[in-house]
Homo-oligomer: A and B are copies of this chain.
Amino acid sequence: MTSTAAGPPPLPAAAEAARRTAADLGIGARFSLHPAADDAGAAVLDALAAADRSAVDVVTDDVSTLVRGTEADVVRFVHDVVAAAGRPGRHVVAQVHLSRGCPGEVACATADDVVLAPVVVPDLPATGLRAAAHWALYPLDDGTAGRPGDHMRAIEQAVAVARTRAVVTPSTFVTRLDGDLADVLGAVVDGWLAAARHVRHVVAHATITLHSPSWSAAEVTR
């Protein structure tokens, strides 16, 4: 297939197939950015404009931004936008909601060997931005007639995986993560994809704070 008209060149066949599979599997993110600034709207638009969106579909409305694509492309886009929002050095909070998998067996004919196949975790470069997050993982494991689900086991496995990337502190309703933004978001992603090896529908939520006014200058540079 060649491109004869003006416009972006077509995706290579493999990338196009990966994007189709991602859509079938319901992969994507919703996120919102909250700069503590009178001109928050402009700051959000600047951050969104700073990231390469050639590999993802992005729709922003009055509540949040929806990103669709493969896991690696979605995560890289969200990471780049949040990092861009944090670079000016002022307090900003990102709410990140990652979703993957068929919401219900009835609505989704994709076989387990496709849904539960291993996924390449994106490589996120260190940002130099300190981040703290409250992270919650929801493995929606209904189980089967012969085998009940065990969502707490999937959560515990994901928390163990997260420990290899960020400082992990258990808390009420959430797990706290501390580290470089790339490692905090990376830990959320690693845990999400670890659970997705066993559970068809897995959702992660994280509230990620950068440049909190509660942190002293000494803490920020540590």
Copy tally for this chain in the complex stands at 2
Bound-state CA distance A212–B63 (Å) is 8
| Residues B209 and A63 in contact, CB atoms below 8 Å apart | yes
| Residues B95 and A95 in contact, CB atoms below 8 Å apart | yes
Contacts of A148 in B (CB 8 A): 142-145, 148-149
Bound-state CA distance A148–B105 (Å) is 12
Contacts of A203 in B (CB 8 A): 136, 138, 173
A interface, CB within 8 angstroms of B: 28, 30, 32, 34-38, 40-41, 61-64, 66, 68, 91, 93, 95, 97, 99, 103-104, 106-107, 132-134, 136, 138-152, 171-174, 176, 201, 203, 205, 207, 209, 212-215
**Which one of B38, B41, B172 contacts A28 once the chains associate, using CB atoms below 8 Å?**
B172
Contacts of A151 in B (CB 8 A): 104, 140, 142, 201
15 chain-A/chain-B pairs, Cβ below 8 angstroms: A28-B172, A34-B93, A36-B40, A63-B132, A63-B176, A66-B172, A97-B174, A106-B152, A140-B140, A141-B142, A142-B142, A144-B148, A149-B149, A173-B203, A205-B205
**Which one of B106, B134, B213 contacts A41 once the chains associate, using CB atoms below 8 Å?**
B213
| Residues A209 and B40 in contact, CB atoms below 8 Å apart | no
Contacts of A149 in B (CB 8 A): 141-143, 148-149
